[in-house]
Copies of this chain bind each other. A is one copy, B any other.
């Protein structure tokens, strides 16, 4: 039996990324009781839910793009790689839950901190799993295709390096200001793209 190729691994991973991103919409709820505030009023006050939705969606989008970049350098996947990938997907699949917590508790007197800690800790775990995946594949070029130049591997390693410390900083920031912590996470996701695009041009 040959080592498994990567096409079904990509299909499975793409499925999980796409579903986790799309399930985020289930966090949105309104109170339909007759005694509830007017719907327009409720929709405007859902802004923490919109913020959490956009932040999580873009973050999943970026991790998907990065996963894409990694898979392009991989010639084959062994079962250890598949196991680490499963752990990464386990964390990504979990994102809708802390996202719902942020949507529900942001700017509430009680529970705001716990919600944002849970959110930031989940993203930190995601970054750690992603680094483990890349480190395992990249070490001694264990799973790297022959045609991939060392320069590309260095560029990818360089691009992924800030993930863990940044999400750690964001977690610490939540101690002072949970709201700022979520906003910074959104800004990180939104700003990562132009530099990532730059990175495409250079290599």
Contact = CB atoms under 8 A, between A and B. Distances in A.
A101 B28 CA distance: 10
A155 B79 contact: no
B1 A73 contact: yes
A18 interface: yes
B25 A197 contact: no
Interface in A4-27: 4, 8, 10-12, 14-26
A3 B197 CA distance: 10
A38 B193 contact: no
B57 A1 contact: no
Given A17-B12, A58-B90, A115-B39, A1 B72 contact: yes
Interface residues of A, number: 74
B54 A21 contact: no
Given A10-B11, A11-B14, A20-B22, A28 B197 contact: no
A148 B156 CA distance: 33
A43 B100 CA distance: 13
Given A12-B17, A19-B22, A83-B197, 6 more contacts: A20-B25, A23-B23, A25-B94, A25-B95, A39-B111, A39-B115
Interface of A: 1-4, 8, 10-12, 14-26, 28, 30, 32, 38-40, 43, 53-54, 57-58, 61, 64-65, 68-69, 71-73, 78-80, 82-83, 86, 89-90, 93-97, 101, 104-105, 110-111, 113-115, 117-118, 148, 152, 155-156, 193-194, 196-197, 199-200, 203
18 contacts: A1-B73, A1-B200, A1-B203, A8-B10, A8-B14, A12-B18, A15-B15, A21-B89, A22-B93, A23-B23, A25-B93, A25-B95, A39-B105, A39-B114, A43-B118, A57-B90, A78-B197, A79-B199
